C-alpha cells in the first residue's frame, strides 16, 4: 500500500493543510465524538459536517492502489454528485470522514475498515445508497443477511475479479464456494445449463433477497419465475392441469437437475402421476380409470396425455 518514501512528506502537507481548513462546528450530532468511537459506531453514523472530510484527492496521495481500482470501477461517479454533502462522495462515502485519519498519519482507528465490521454493519453502509429498487430493497429479509453473508462476500470494491458488478468471482463458481450441495445437482444428466453459461443462478434466485421462499424471483406478473423462459407453460388454458398452477412446477420437476429425464422427480412418469391419481379419499385428483392397466401400455402416461401442462381443447390433455 505504502511503498514510496514520498508518502510521509505528502502526509504532513495534507495534515497541515487540513489543520488550517478545519472550522469549529456547533452541531453536537455531527461533531466528532470526543472518545474513540468503535468501528461499529463510526459505520452507523454519517456526519454531515463538511470540515471532517478531506475528499478523494487527499486519500489518493497515500493509497494509490485503492485509488486506481476506485477510478476504474463505478464509484468514482459519486464524486460528481455535488448536490449532496461530502458524506456521499468518493472514498469517504464508504470509509467515513477521513480528516482525523489523515492528521494521525494514517491512524487506523479513525477510518472505517470494512474487514473489521460485522457483515450486517458493512452491508448497511452499502445499502445507504443501494437499498432502493426492487432488486436490493429486501436484503434484510434475505437468507444471506440472516446468515451473515453480506455484500462484500460476493462483491469487492478494490479487488474484483469480474469488472461487471464488481464480483469476486463469476457465477456459478461464486455461489458454489458456499453452496457445494447445489453444485452436484448441475452435473446430473438432466439439468439447467448453468455451468455451461446459458443462464445463471440469479436467473431464478434473487441473491439480494425477496418475498418468495428460497429467494426465488418471480415474473413481472408475479407468477413463478419459470414462466419468464417457459412461456408456453404459462397458459392460461381452458383446461388447466391443477398442480401446475397450485403447487408450481416443482410438484413434478427438480429445478436444478436430476438423474431422471426432463428433470422429473421420479424415474418413471407413472410413479409421478400415481402419487396423486390414486384412490384416496382426500385427493383432489381423480383416480386413474380402471382400464389403465399398469403392467401394460398405460404406464407411459404422457404418450396419450401429451398436453400435460394444460390444454385448450381437451379436459384429459390428449391435445393442446
Ligand atoms: C497521510 C497518508 C494517508 C492519507 C492521506 C490517507 N491514509 Fe489511509 N492509511 C494510511 C496509513 C499509513 C494506513 C495504515 C496502513 C497499514 O497499516 O498498512 C492507512 C490505512 C487506511 C485504511 C485501512 C484501515 C485498517 O484498519 O487497516 C483505510 C480503509 C484507509 N486508510 C482509508 C483512507 C481514506 C478513505 C483516506 C482519505 C479520506 C485515507 N485513507 C487517507 C495513510 C493515509
Ligand atoms: C463503494 C465503497 C468504497 C469506496 C468508494 C472506497 N472503498 Fe476502500 N474499501 C471498501 C471495501 C468494501 C474494502 C474491503 C476490501 C474490498 O472489498 O475490496 C475496502 C478496502 C480499502 C482499503 C484496504 C484496507 C482494508 O480495510 O482492508 C483501503 C486502504 C481503502 N479501501 C482505501 C480506499 C480509498 C483511498 C478510496 C478512494 C480512492 C476507497 N477506499 C474507496 C469500500 C470502498
Ligand atoms: C455513496 C453511495 C454509494 C455507496 C455508499 C456504495 N455505492 Fe455502490 N454504487 C454507487 C453508484 C452511484 C454506482 C453506479 C451506479 C450506476 O452506474 O448506475 C454504484 C455501483 C455499484 C455496483 C454496480 C457495478 C456495476 O458494474 O453495475 C456494485 C456492485 C456496487 N456499487 C456495490 C457496492 C458495495 C458492495 C458497496 C459497499 C461496500 C457500495 N456499492 C457502496 C453508489 C454507492
Ligand atoms: C450472494 C452473493 C451476493 C451478495 C451477498 C450481494 N450481491 Fe450484489 N450481486 C451479486 C451478483 C452475482 C450480481 C450480478 C448479477 C448478474 O450478473 O445479473 C450482483 C449485482 C449487484 C449490483 C449490480 C447490478 C444490479 O442488480 O443493480 C449491485 C449494485 C449490487 N449487486 C449490490 C449489492 C449490495 C449493495 C449488496 C449488499 C447489500 C449485495 N450486492 C450483496 C451477488 C451478491
Ligand atoms: C459466502 C457464502 C455464500 C455465497 C458466496 C453464496 N451464498 Fe447463498 N447462502 C449462504 C448461506 C450461509 C445461506 C443460508 C443457509 C442455507 O440455506 O444454505 C444461503 C442461502 C441461499 C439461498 C436460500 C436457500 C433457502 O433455503 O432459502 C439461496 C437461493 C442462495 N443462497 C443462493 C445463492 C446464489 C445464487 C449465490 C451466488 C450468486 C449464493 N447463494 C452465494 C451462503 C452463501
Ligand atoms: C431454473 C431455476 C433455478 C436455477 C437456475 C437455480 N435454482 Fe436454486 N432453486 C430453484 C427452485 C425452484 C428452488 C426451490 C426448490 C424447492 O422448493 O423444492 C431452488 C432451491 C435452491 C436452494 C435451496 C436448497 C435446495 O436445494 O432446495 C439453494 C441453496 C439454491 N437453489 C441455490 C442455487 C444456486 C447456487 C444456483 C446456481 C448454481 C441455483 N440455485 C440455480 C430454482 C433454480
Ligand atoms: C432463464 C431461462 C429459464 C428459466 C428461468 C427456467 N428455465 Fe427451464 N429451461 C430453460 C432452457 C433454455 C431449457 C433447455 C435446456 C437445454 O436444452 O439444455 C430448459 C429446460 C427445462 C426442462 C426440460 C428438461 C428436459 O430435459 O426436457 C424443465 C423440466 C425445466 N426447464 C423446468 C424449469 C422450471 C421448473 C423452472 C423454474 C424453477 C425453469 N425451468 C426456469 C430455461 C429456463
Ligand atoms: C403434473 C406434473 C407436472 C407439472 C406440475 C409440471 N410439469 Fe413439466 N413435465 C411433466 C412431465 C410428465 C413431462 C414430460 C413430458 C413427456 O414425457 O413428454 C414434463 C416436461 C416438461 C418440459 C420438457 C418438455 C416440454 O414440454 O417442453 C418442460 C420444459 C417442462 N416440463 C417445464 C415445466 C414448467 C416450467 C412447469 C411449471 C410451469 C412444469 N413443467 C410443471 C410434468 C409436469
Ligand atoms: C401433485 C398432484 C398431481 C400430479 C403429480 C399429477 N396430477 Fe393430474 N391432476 C391433479 C389434480 C388435482 C387434477 C384436477 C382435478 C380436478 O380439477 O378436478 C388433475 C387432473 C388431471 C387430469 C384431468 C382429469 C379430468 O377428468 O379432467 C388428467 C388426465 C391428469 N391429471 C393426468 C395426469 C398425469 C398423466 C400425470 C403425470 C404426468 C399427472 N396427472 C400428475 C393432480 C396431479
Ligand atoms: C394409451 C393411452 C393412455 C395412457 C398411456 C394413459 N391414459 Fe389416462 N386416459 C386415457 C383415456 C382414453 C382416458 C379416458 C378419457 C375420457 O374419459 O374421455 C383416460 C383418462 C384418464 C384420467 C381421467 C380420469 C377421470 O376420472 O376423469 C386420468 C386421471 C388419467 N387418465 C391418468 C393417467 C395416468 C396417471 C396414466 C399413466 C399411469 C395414464 N392416464 C395413461 C388414455 C390413456
List, as one string, the DSSP characters of 106-161.
S-GGGS--GGGS-HHHHHHHHHHHH--STTTTTGGGSHHHHTT--HHHHB-SSS-S
Q: At a CB cut-off of 8 Å and minimum separation 6, what does 268 contact?
A: 299
215: Cβ below 6 Å to ligand 5?
A: yes
Nearest CA residue ID for atom 34, ligand 9: 273
- Strand, helix or coil for residue 218: strand
pLDDT at 98: 96
Q: How far is CA 314 from CA 230, 238, 286, in A?
A: 21, 8, 16
- Strand, helix or coil for residue 239: strand
Alpha carbon of residue 109 to chain centroid = 31
Residue 255 C-alpha to ligand 6 middle, in angstroms? 7
Sign of CA dihedral 98, 100, 105, 106: negative
pLDDT at 35: 62
Tens digit of pLDDT at every position of the chain (320 positions): 444 444 444 444 444 444 333 333 333 334 445 467 888 888 888 999 999 999 999 999 999 999 999 999 999 999 999 999 999 999 999 999 999 999 999 999 999 999 999 999 999 999 999 998 888 888 988 999 999 999 999 999 999 999 999 999 999 999 999 999 999 999 999 999 999 999 999 999 999 998 888 999 987 777 789 999 999 999 899 999 999 988 899 999 999 999 999 999 999 999 999 999 988 767 789 989 889 988 778 999 999 999 999 999 999 999 88
Sign of CA dihedral 98, 100, 106, 111: negative
**Is 263 exposed, middle or buried (CB count within 10 Å of its CB: 0-12, 13-18, 19+)?**
buried
- What is the largest distance, in Å, between two alpha-carbon atoms of the chain? 96
Q: At a CB cut-off of 8 Å and minimum separation 6, what does 320 contact?
A: 306, 307, 311, 312, 313
- Strand, helix or coil for residue 101: helix
| In contact, 166 and 155? CB cutoff 8 Å | yes
Q: At a CB cut-off of 8 Å and minimum separation 6, what does 6 contact?
A: none
151: Cβ below 6 Å to ligand 3?
A: yes
Residues with a CB atom less than 6 Å from ligand 1: 1-2, 11, 14, 54, 58-59, 61-63, 91-92, 95, 98, 101-102, 105-106, 108, 111, 113, 116
pLDDT at 280: 78
- Nearest-atom index, ligand 1, CA of 7: 2
252: Cβ below 6 Å to ligand 8?
A: yes
Amino acid at each position: 500500500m505504502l511503498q514510496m518514501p514520498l508518502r510521509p512528506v505528502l502526509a504532513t502537507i495534507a495534515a497541515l493543510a487540513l489543520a488550517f481548513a478545519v472550522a469549529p462546528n456547533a452541531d453536537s450530532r455531527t461533531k466528532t465524538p470526543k472518545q474513540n468511537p468503535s468501528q461499529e459506531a463510526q459505520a452507523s453514523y454519517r456526519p454531515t459536517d463538511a470540515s471532517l472530510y478531506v475528499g478523494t484527492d487527499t486519500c489518493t496521495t497515500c493509497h494509490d492502489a485503492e485509488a486506481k481500482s476506485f477510478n476504474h470501477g463505478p464509484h468514482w461517479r459519486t464524486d460528481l454528485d455535488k448536490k449532496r454533502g461530502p458524506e456521499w462522495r468518493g472514498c469517504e462515502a464508504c470509509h467515513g470522514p477521513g480528516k482525523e485519519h489523515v492528521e494521525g498519519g494514517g491512524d487506523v482507528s479513525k477510518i472505517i475498515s470494512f474487514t473489521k465490521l460485522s457483515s450486517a454493519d458493512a452491508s448497511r453502509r452499502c445499502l445507504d445508497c443501494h437499498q432502493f429498487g426492487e432488486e436490493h430493497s429486501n436484503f434484510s429479509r434475505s437468507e444471506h443477511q440472516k446468515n451473515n453473508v453480506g455484500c462484500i462476500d460476493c462483491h469487492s470494491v478494490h479487488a474484483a475479479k469480474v469488472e461487471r458488478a464488481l464480483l469476486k468471482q463469476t457465477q456459478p463458481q461464486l455461489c458454489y464456494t458456499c453452496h457445494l450441495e447445489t453444485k452436484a445437482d448441475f452435473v446430473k444428466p438432466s439439468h439447467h445449463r448453468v455451468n455451461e453459461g446459458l443462464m445463471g443462478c440469479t436467473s431464478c434466485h434473487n441473491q439480494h433477497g425477496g418475498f418468495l421462499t428460497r429467494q426465488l424471483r418471480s415474473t413481472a406478473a408475479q407468477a413463478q419465475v419459470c414462466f419468464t423462459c417457459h412461456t408456453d407453460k404459462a397458459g392460461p388454458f381452458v383446461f388447466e392441469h391443477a398442480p401446475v398452477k397450485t403447487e408450481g412446477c416443482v410438484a413434478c420437476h427438480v429445478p436444478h437437475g436430476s438423474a431422471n429425464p426432463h428433470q422429473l422427480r421420479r424415474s418413471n412418469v407413472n410413479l409421478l402421476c400415481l402419487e396423486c391419481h390414486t384412490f384416496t379419499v382426500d385427493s383432489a385428483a381423480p383416480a386413474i380409470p380402471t382400464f389403465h392397466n399398469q403392467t401394460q401400455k398405460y404406464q407411459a402416461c404422457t404418450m396419450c396425455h401429451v398436453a400435460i401442462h394444460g390444454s385448450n381443447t381437451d379436459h384429459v390433455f390428449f391435445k393442446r
